[in-house]
Chain A
Amino acid sequence: MSALLDIRQLSKTFHSGKGSVSALQNINLAVKEGEFITVIGPSGCGKSTLLKIVAGLDADYDGSVKLNDRQVTGPGIEKGFIFQEPRLFPWLTVEKNIAADLSLHKPEIRKKVDELIKLVRLKGFEKSYPRELSGGMAQRVAIARALLRNPKVLLLDEPFGALDAFTRAHMQEVLLDIWQQNKTTMIFVTHDIDEAVFLANRIVILKPRPGTVQKIVPVELLFPRKKSSVAFQELRYKVIGEFEKIEELELVDSGAGI
């Protein structure tokens, strides 16, 4: 089976007045349809940059990024994107935010919006304005808004980073629920190891300066997963172990610099 998303030899360099910084170097990743990938790494490893490139929000890169065998050149509805903040339109109600540029007067849109509202558990809040919602609810509206467009892949950039621990755990379950029902391919950037292990089929661990793939860890645990289970904790230690390796490398690097 060929990959839905195929990233080959991807490199990205930021140029500024002071010189250039290599943000990503030789990234290779193939994502199959329906897969749940989490990308994790310390800050500055380029995980958000990687996601922006896949979304088409940053077209200035070297290498190839192909979605369904077509080179990514710009943003589009086949690539749904969830930002860290919900970024809802404050002047639109929940249902109109989900519809956004589409008309709720069309019966097929109306029907899908109603289904999505049920899916993200927001029944009863259709006519509420964003200022009346909690952070978790607003982020669920953003997810519904992306899903309405039937994206081939949903890209999530630390979507639950600003939420408290309880809301975050709840949102993770909602997202898994959506994933199992819709079979949407997910690429989920996070800096939370528990979150990465809890959600993923595969965890991509990035290391910084320049951003390269340190390791790809497959997660074969069955859903629903228990964070307290031994198997879960073993995987968690494995990921933490990889992070420790990164830190040791960094120490060696900086030591060599002196």
Chain B
Amino acid sequence: MSASTEITKPGGYKRTTVFLLGSLLPLALLVFWQVLGELGVISTLLFPTPVTIAKAFGKLAATGELWEHFRISIARAALGFFLGGGFGLLCGILVGLFRRTERAFDPTVQMIRMIPSLAVAPLFVLWFGIGEESKVLLIAKGAFFPLYINAFLGIRNVDNKLFEVARVLGFSWFKQLIRLVIPAALPNILLGARLSIGISWLGLVVAELMASTSGIGYLMSDARQFSKTPIVFVGIIIFAVVGKLTDSLVRLLERRWLKWRDNYQG
């Protein structure tokens, strides 16, 4: 039958089609925005047109100023993420594995989790100074919790029947951890990593807006004071794009490490 050849398999689209589909909405929005700005419907001081923003970007990039701030921001976010996320993963695994650690540790962690970063940011500056430490630690505090909670949840979701198999096969404690617990909790751990990365970006902005002389957040707060709105938008776009890229990186790992899963793929 000729009709059967025209059926498109779900998810069988070409790469370019997928990309175009994803960029349709943002592109339409940009054009709409530019037109509104040109027509004078919206204030170009509050909403500089995409072309103005692009020009501001070009200028900052040309002087090399942008890359310097960018490099500093990335380093802070990465350090904070690995510090807080790594520690969160470790604690989450320990609390997930042992009921006793859960009872001793979890209530305190949940209490600290509820304290907003903004509330403790001034204290962090007082305690750790205005330098890098306070910023990195503020980011780390945010990055800790998503990985902690998801690692814990992932471990508690491991099928008890598989633990019975591990007992029958005589797994050592260590083998049980690396062959059973970690792989089974990996979907949750990767989800936690994605959320932690997002929180790291948020923490970065808080830290750099608060007290800083460098970084993308500083660039934005400085521009805001002098009403250079195009630069504020440049900062926003950088956060959005880099945030999406790091998220895609984790999703790439998900696809590679979780290919054994047999779930609904949409």
Cα A100 to Cα B165 with chains together (Å): 10
Chain B residues whose CB sits within 8 angstroms of the CB of A92 once the complex forms = 179, 183, 260
B59 CB within 8 Å of chain A? no
Cα A90 to Cα B260 with chains together (Å): 6
Hey, what's the 0/1 contact readout for A148-186 against B, CB within 8 Å counting as 1? 010000000000000000000000000000000000000
Stretch in A75-83, A199-207, A216-224 with 4+ CB within 8 Å of B: A75-83
A55 CB within 8 Å of chain B? yes
Cα A75 to Cα B260 with chains together (Å): 29
Chain B residues whose CB sits within 8 angstroms of the CB of A83 once the complex forms = 161, 164-165
Q: Which 7 A-B pairs have the closest CB atoms?
A: A131-B262, A101-B175, A91-B183, A81-B168, A77-B170, A91-B260, A75-B167
| Interface residues of chain A: helix, strand, loop or mixed (majority) | loop
B169 CB within 8 Å of chain A? yes
B32 CB within 8 Å of chain A? no
Q: Kindly report which residue of chain B lies nearest to residue A90, judged by CB atoms.
A: B260
A89-B183, A91-B183, A91-B184 are known contacts. Are A57 and B168 too (CB-CB below 8 A)?
yes
Q: Kindly report which residue of chain A lies nearest to residue B184, judged by CB atoms.
A: A91
Query: When the two chains form their complex, are residues A101 and B165 in contact, meaning their CB atoms are under 8 A apart?
Result: no
B255 CB within 8 Å of chain A? no
Q: How far is the CB of B149 from chain A (nearest CB, A)?
A: 22
Chain B residues whose CB sits within 8 angstroms of the CB of A55 once the complex forms = 168
A90-B261, A91-B183, A100-B179 are known contacts. Are A149 and B165 too (CB-CB below 8 A)?
no
Q: How far is the CB of A65 from chain B (nearest CB, A)?
A: 16
Chain A residues whose CB sits within 8 angstroms of the CB of B165 once the complex forms = 83, 87, 89
B172 CB within 8 Å of chain A? yes
Query: When the two chains form their complex, are residues B169 and A145 in contact, meaning their CB atoms are under 8 A apart?
Result: yes
Instruction: Beyond the given A75-B168, A91-B260, A131-B261, please list 16 additional residue pairs across the A-B interface where CB-CB is below 8 A.
Output: A55-B168, A57-B164, A75-B167, A75-B170, A77-B169, A79-B168, A83-B164, A85-B161, A91-B186, A92-B179, A92-B183, A100-B169, A100-B179, A101-B170, A101-B172, A149-B170
Q: A residues engaging B (CB < 8 A)?
A: 55, 57, 75-77, 79-81, 83, 85, 87, 89-92, 100-101, 129-131, 145-146, 149
Cα A149 to Cα B167 with chains together (Å): 13
Chain B residues whose CB sits within 8 angstroms of the CB of A145 once the complex forms = 169
Q: Kindly report which residue of chain B lies nearest to residue A80, judged by CB atoms.
A: B168
Cα A30 to Cα B261 with chains together (Å): 44
Hey, what's the 0/1 contact readout for B25-47 against A, CB within 8 Å counting as 1? 00000000000000000000000
Hey, what's the 0/1 contact readout for B153-191 against A, CB within 8 Å counting as 1? 000000001101111111110010001100110100000
Q: B residues engaging A (CB < 8 A)?
A: 161-162, 164-172, 175, 179-180, 183-184, 186, 258-262
Cα A155 to Cα B168 with chains together (Å): 11
Cα A92 to Cα B162 with chains together (Å): 13
Chain A residues whose CB sits within 8 angstroms of the CB of B260 once the complex forms = 90-92, 129-131
Q: Tell which of A76, A89, A146 touches B180, judged by Cβ atoms closer than 8 Å.
A: A89
Q: Can you give 15 contacting A-B residue pairs, CB < 8 Å?
A: A55-B168, A75-B168, A76-B170, A77-B169, A79-B168, A80-B168, A83-B165, A87-B164, A89-B183, A91-B260, A92-B179, A100-B169, A101-B175, A129-B259, A145-B169
Query: When the two chains form their complex, are residues B161 and A57 in contact, meaning their CB atoms are under 8 A apart?
Result: no
Cα A91 to Cα B184 with chains together (Å): 8
Cα A146 to Cα B166 with chains together (Å): 11
Q: How far is the CB of B251 from chain A (nearest CB, A)?
A: 18
Q: Kindly report which residue of chain B lies nearest to residue A142, judged by CB atoms.
A: B165
Query: When the two chains form their complex, are residues A57 and B184 in contact, meaning their CB atoms are under 8 A apart?
Result: no
Q: Kindly report which residue of chain B lies nearest to residue A148, judged by CB atoms.
A: B169
Query: When the two chains form their complex, are residues B179 and A90 in contact, meaning their CB atoms are under 8 A apart?
Result: no
Q: Kindly report which residue of chain B lies nearest to residue A132, judged by CB atoms.
A: B262
Central interface residue in B168, B170, B186, by most chain A CB within 10 Å: B168
Q: How far is the CB of A100 from chain B (nearest CB, A)?
A: 5
Q: How far is the CB of B26 from chain A (nearest CB, A)?
A: 36
Chain A residues whose CB sits within 8 angstroms of the CB of B261 once the complex forms = 90, 131
Cα A77 to Cα B171 with chains together (Å): 9
Chain A residues whose CB sits within 8 angstroms of the CB of B164 once the complex forms = 57, 83, 87
Cα A91 to Cα B260 with chains together (Å): 5
